[in-house]
Structure 1
């Protein structure tokens, strides 16, 4: 009995020691794989899904309403945020999300984060807002929650903006403030969605996590999500759904093109186009699609035929 009690106490003490170990600043690849378990394709070294560059390029042409409606049809009702200032509103951006969480400065907690960052071999001499930038890869988008604070909060200025574009060839989405907007505008290819700008620096904030789940306004964002950002807002897409979303939206765009043409020709009335199509209209659309030039389709002919056959 005594030996059993000793073994039990040893187990409790060991378990307590393990649970008291410091939490990582950056999520481990295993944790990211757990968060994105429905993705079945290739992954990056940090565990995030590697959605193809081709799909990211096609996603730029998807209408925000189409992406929003598709995700809601799948039960994802909290993926959109639309209240932004935008550096270049006419330039849409897509990419694989790297997340960062910023919080109001608290000295004791910051010391814990700094010690753990040193264990993870991060640059503890410079400011912590450089840590997410150092892990960015081409095709990534740096997405940060800055708790909607502007004064003494700026997550980046033009120096870090250049570093971000250098690493990712992309831009940022910050639920918080930036500084040196004029300098950021001059970085060719760089874009940003942000809540406001202020000349003050970042003296009252601290980074607490990288590649963990965060909230961006009314949207929840996971590392490895795919983002579509344009002048109408930002939407964060679970990676396992992005291929289907893109193809579905492209087919909707073709249906719209067909409908507009038939309305101009006065073959159908607006009421006929807006309601559920008859079998004759579906056949007309299929014949129209079959005659559509392959080199002008946004998808491959096989992708289109497979989709139409599955959604008769």
Structure 2
């Protein structure tokens, strides 16, 4: 029985490894299938392409609101915290381009690099995802939490990443050259730690595939929202709903705070189910403050029709 059990476990491990190697770049049809709830535009490789307008609006929503909305939708594994950053005050917002790394072994790494060379890929495997980046992308990588000799980038690759994407990185791994990365204006990196070592015994096994980042799952094309609290990965098909709902909550809170400061309503009234009078005053406040509304008024009005307040 022990032999059969061990044989079975070995077979599972070999099957998993074969899948990872074959899934270095996920087939377009598979990616479209896995993200079939997304009905919008896609990149040529099949990755959902969230509109730039939504990316810009997402910069102004909070982690807590996004997490709460996703949690209410049944998405309970989309946040991870415990990061070290280049800058505490530079958020990262964009579309996820994912990569998975594993401990290397000579035969596997040789085969992966040989096939990569035939596909026109150049350099070490940690540079392959960088070559695929476009404006608005966020390089999200699972480096199995490796710190020493797990430094996926330094300042050279950091400059290349920012030049291609105008964005930063999220690594379940480490990075090096912190001072050099700090010098890249607008760039940020969320990593597990900093280390002076060079990358060693690490190989790319998945590119544009579903990956795990701590306690979160990330799909290619997810909306990445990274702020000081941590990182939330918003499924592409829920991006607009999360953003719109978070924007409404922000408007509601801004109005409520103003009413409290003016003494028009009590804390108990604002922090409870709103009366028809408060709702009426809120609508009047919106009319007087169109500049505070981040979405179109038509979208806001349509959203409020289904809102339970």
1:6-155 aligned at under 5 Å gives the runs: 23-123=22-122, 126-155=123-152
What is the CA-CA distance between 1:24 and the residue it aligns to? 4.1
Question: Structure 1 residue 291: deviation in Å?
Answer: 2.4
CA shift at 1:120, angstroms? 2.7
Determine if contact 2:55/2:94 at 8 Å carries over to the other structure. yes
Equivalent position of 1:301 in the other structure = 297
Q: Decide which structure has the larger Cα Rg and report it.
A: 1
**Contact 1:25/1:117 (CA < 8 Å) preserved in 2?**
no
Cα distance, 1:309 vs structure 2:
2.0
Alpha-carbon distance between aligned partners in 1 of 2:48 and 2:149, rounded to the nearest angstrom:
34
In 1: Cα distance, 2:152 partner to 2:230 partner = 20
Kept in 1: contact 2:32–2:46 (CA 8 A): yes
Separation in 2 of the partners of 1:55 and 1:306? 18
Unaligned 5+ residue runs, structure 1? Answer: 1-18
How many pairs align?
A: 291
Q: Which residue of 1 aligns with 2:272?
A: 275
1:205 aligned residue? 202
TM-superposed deviation, 1:92: 1.1
Superposition TM-score, scaled by structure 1 size = 0.89
Q: Tell me, in whole angstroms, the C-alpha distance in 1 between the residues paired with 2:23 and 2:293.
A: 46
Question: For residues 40-81 of structure 1, what are the alpha-carbon distances to aligned partners after superposition, in whole Å with 9 as ceiling and x for unaligned?
Answer: 111111111111111101101101100000000100011001
Q: Which runs of 5+ in 2 are unaligned?
A: 1-17
Match of 1:310 in 2: 306
Return structure 1 stretches of 4+ with deviation > 6 angstroms. none
What is the alpha-carbon distance in structure 1 between the residues aligned to residue 162 and residue 263 of structure 2?
Answer: 49
Q: Any idea what SS the aligned residue of 2:251 has?
A: helix
Q: Which moved more, 1:185-194 or 1:281-290?
A: 281-290
Instruction: Report the 3-state secondary structure (helix = DSSP H, G, I; strand = E; otherwise coil) of the residue aligned with 1:152.
Output: coil
CA contact (8 A) 1:24 1:116 kept: no
Give yes or no for contact 1:213–1:221 (8 Å, CA) kept in 2. Answer: yes
SS at match of 1:163: helix
The whole-number CA distance in structure 2 between the counterparts of 1:137 and 1:264 is 45
Give 1:116 shift: 2.8
For residues 167 and 156 of structure 1, the distance between their equivalents in structure 2, rounded to whole angstroms, comes to 15
- Is the 1:25–1:116 contact (alpha carbons within 8 Å) kept by the matching residues of 2? no
Provide the alpha-carbon RMSD of the alignment.
Answer: 1.7
Q: What SS class does the counterpart of residue 224 from structure 1 fall into? A: coil
Q: Give 1:287's match in structure 2, choosing from 284, 287, 294.
A: 284
TM-score by length of 2: 0.90
